[in-house]
Structure 1
Amino acid sequence: MTIRSTPARLRFGAAIALVLASTACAAPEDGRAAPTHDEVTTMQSPVLERFATPVAGIHSGGRISADDLPALRAAGIRHVINLAPAAETPGFDEAASVRAAGMGYDALPIAGAGDLDRDAVVAFDRLLQAADGPTLVHCGSGNRVGALAALRAAWLHGADEEAAVEEGRRWGLRGLEGEVRGRLSRER
């Protein structure tokens, strides 16, 4: 059986291909840009299930290990921000390991409640703004990440105490909530 290509069939095939291509590249109807490959990959990756996703492109949570790095990279993570002091993970050079895995890396050591000050919040905000691509922000449990996120919401973005604490919870705030509330009430 021989299939002949006629001009009409070619035009019909080209029209179908054009419709399919334009549909695949279209932005969502709500006006947001279509998600990038990295954003889609990180949304669907099982390795990221143990981390919160408080905002698009940002994942937050607890400690990572060298064994996690290949999966995080494959999941689309392009940058890691570590809030845990190096002393919490002796024997694991996280900076070197993350960079060797092909991801960007920044450290902002927050040892505990005493380090939750305006300078740390401003530094945290700058690191988030400068991160290139999908980012994982972590500490030992995610609690310090959430504390900084709550203080950032209040001090830099004007959220009231309840809204700031709720934002912090989305990022991982638990045990430091009382400390965050105390700092917010003193700063009123």
Structure 2
Amino acid sequence: MNRFILPLACLLCAGVAWAGVPADGAVARLPHVAFPAPHRVASGRLQAGDVPVLKRAGIRQVIDLSLDSETPGFDEAAALRAAGIVYHNLPIRGPADLTRANVARFDHLLGDAGTQRTLVHCASSNRVGALVALRAAWLQDRPVEAAIEEGRRWGLKSLEPAVRARLHASTGQAAPRPAS
């Protein structure tokens, strides 16, 4: 009897972990992809061929943080809507758009998504991670380093200095100086 408990426990744990991840392994081949939270996928730029993959994987919503001008040959909104996937666009150009208002809009979109499988993307997932880090600190009262780490899990890379500057400015703390 005991010899069945460990394998059964492993299967149950795998099922729980799998519940928040899209079923189609092709989603794992999206650029800069991460599965940072249950029912959430972060990725880089989408292409037309990705739409059927998202549909098969059970993605119900896409939150696009890129500008339409970044993909002039692909009408992402029309393609996703035609596939029955809800599409939202919150264009983030760069550091200047990392505002409390945009973080609040982003939080609202994620909140509205509930437990629906939702993909959040930009060109490289860097802007995704930036908004996630700011959301974690400003709206969820997470400490700066915990917020940065959460942003990294979602794709934060080159925008990290801008995020740190905003977080330190909002807390009244001086930003740490880089080691020399």
State the TM-score, normalizing by the size of structure 2.
0.80
Change (3 A) 1:56 1:91: same
How far apart are the structure 2 equivalents of 1:121 and 1:69? 26
Pair 1:119 & 2:101 matched: yes
Unaligned runs of at least 5 residues, structure 2? 1-11, 172-180
How far did residue 40 of structure 1 move? 6.2
RMSD: 2.0
SS in 1 for 2:93: coil
Pair 1:99 & 2:81 matched: yes
SS in 1 for 2:119: strand
Change (3 A) 1:154 1:41: closer
Pair 1:165 & 2:165 matched: no
Change (3 A) 1:40 1:187: closer
Change (3 A) 1:41 1:166: closer
Moved over 2 A (4+): 43-50
Paired AA for residue 153 in structure 2: R
Pair 1:136 & 2:116 matched: no
Change (3 A) 1:128 1:156: same
How far apart are the structure 1 equivalents of 2:40 and 2:21? 13
**C-alpha contact 2:20 2:37 (8 A) present in aligned 1:** no
Change (3 A) 1:108 1:40: closer
SS in 1 for 2:22: helix
Paired AA for residue 126 in structure 2: N
State the TM-score, normalizing by the size of structure 1.
0.77
Paired AA for residue 154 in structure 1: A
How far apart are the structure 1 equivalents of 2:148 and 2:23? 25
The more displaced of 161-170 and 132-141 is 132-141
How far apart are the structure 2 equivalents of 1:92 and 1:120? 24
- Higher radius of gyration, 1 or 2: 1
SS in 2 for 1:187: helix
The aligned counterpart of 1:52 is: 34
The aligned counterpart of 1:22 is: none
Unaligned runs of at least 5 residues, structure 1? 1-27
Paired AA for residue 69 in structure 2: A
